[in-house]
Structure 1
Amino acid sequence: MKKIHVLFPLIAMILFFGYWWNYNKQYEAAQEAKKEQAQQALIAKREQEARDRELAIKLAIEKQAEQRREREAREAKRQQEREERQAAREARERADRERQKLRRQSELLDQDIVKETEAVTKLEERKQFLLAEERFLRDYVRLAESNEGGVTEAIQRIAAAEAARAAAAAEAAQANRR
């Protein structure tokens, strides 16, 4: 009986060992297949990741180039807008300077107009004065010419009166001497 106690577990153990050995070979083969499959999947995954990375890098480079082009286009547009604003500012300043220049010229011309108007008014007054003086002198000359005969006659009378007085004075002096 003692042999059964040892023999039965020993046989059971040998059977179990045989079953385990067979199972272990299959299990190890399955594990190896799983490892190989996992490794193949990992390699495929890494290859896919590498392709995806290359694609992502290519897309990133294309996107970066596109962004650079867009940035350059925006910068060119901004530069053009700046230049247009600068040109508009310069044109506005030029127009303002021109407007101020024309305003100053207009003010000077207004002052010249006032001065010239005053000069014309003075000349008109002078002309009126001279025309009045001319009329006066013509009237005076006409009057003097009409009075010339009377003046000549008056001068002759005065000369005759002077001669008569001188003669009278000479007679009186002769009479006094006698």
Structure 2
Amino acid sequence: MKKVHVLFPLIAMILFGGYWWNYNKQYEAEQEAKKERDRQALVAKREKEAQDRELAIKLAIEKQAEQRREREIREAKRQKEREDRQTAREARERADRERQKLRRQAELLDQDIVKETEAVAKLEERKQYLLAEEGFLQEYVRKAESNEGGITEVIQRIAAAEAARAAAAAEAAQASSRRNS
């Protein structure tokens, strides 16, 4: 039984070794062929890359020249647009300054109109007041002149009433001094 355990694995190992060696020979030949194919493909690839690179350089130089021309055209166009915008901006700013100047002048004139209108209204009001006062004073003078006689009569009555009150006070003082005596 012990021989079986050693013998079968040994036979299997010898068979496997033969198979492996045969496989390894073919594998190495395939690997060499593959390396040669890869090397030839790499050489062909590098040659194609060199040709493509030369073509790309030529195309890049042409493209660069074309882009340079386009850039110069764009730059000239942009410069003209900038100049046009600057001219338009300056015209707009001049127009804005002129508009602001005219607006300030209009505001000043409006303020002057308001001030003068207020002054005229105040003068008109003052005139109406003075005319009313003049009318009142003329009426007052007319009434005062017509009442002058009445005022003199009233003053005389007041003087008489004052004399009567003074006499009554003197009489009352005498009567009270009589009673006290």
Report deviation, 1:15. 2.1
Query: Is structure 2 residue 57 aligned with structure 1 residue 21?
Result: yes
The residue number in structure 1 matching 2:47 is 11
Report deviation, 1:88. 0.7
Query: Is structure 2 residue 93 aligned with structure 1 residue 54?
Result: no
Tell me which amino acid in the other structure corresponds to 2:84: Q
2-structure distance, mates of 1:86, 1:46: 58
2-structure distance, mates of 1:35, 1:74: 56
CA RMSD, Structure 1 to Structure 2 (Å): 2.4
Tell me which amino acid in the other structure corresponds to 2:118: R
2-structure distance, mates of 1:82, 1:34: 69
The residue number in structure 1 matching 2:17 is none
User: Larger radius of gyration, structure 1 or 2?
Assistant: 1
Tell me which amino acid in the other structure corresponds to 2:50: I
- CA deviations on 1:12-52 (whole Å, 9 max, x unpaired) are 11221122112211222233233323322321222112101
Consecutive unaligned residues of structure 1, counting only runs of 5 or more, are 117-178
1-structure distance, mates of 2:66, 2:49: 24
The count of corresponding residues between Structure 1 and Structure 2 is 116
Consecutive unaligned residues of structure 2, counting only runs of 5 or more, are 1-35, 153-181
The residue number in structure 1 matching 2:102 is 66
TM-score using structure 2 length: 0.55
Tell me which amino acid in the other structure corresponds to 1:31: Q
- CA deviations on 1:62-87 (whole Å, 9 max, x unpaired) are 21222133123212212221221121
Residue of structure 1 aligned with 2:117, choices 61, 81, 88:
81
Identity %: 9
2-structure distance, mates of 1:12, 1:106: 133
TM-score using structure 1 length: 0.55
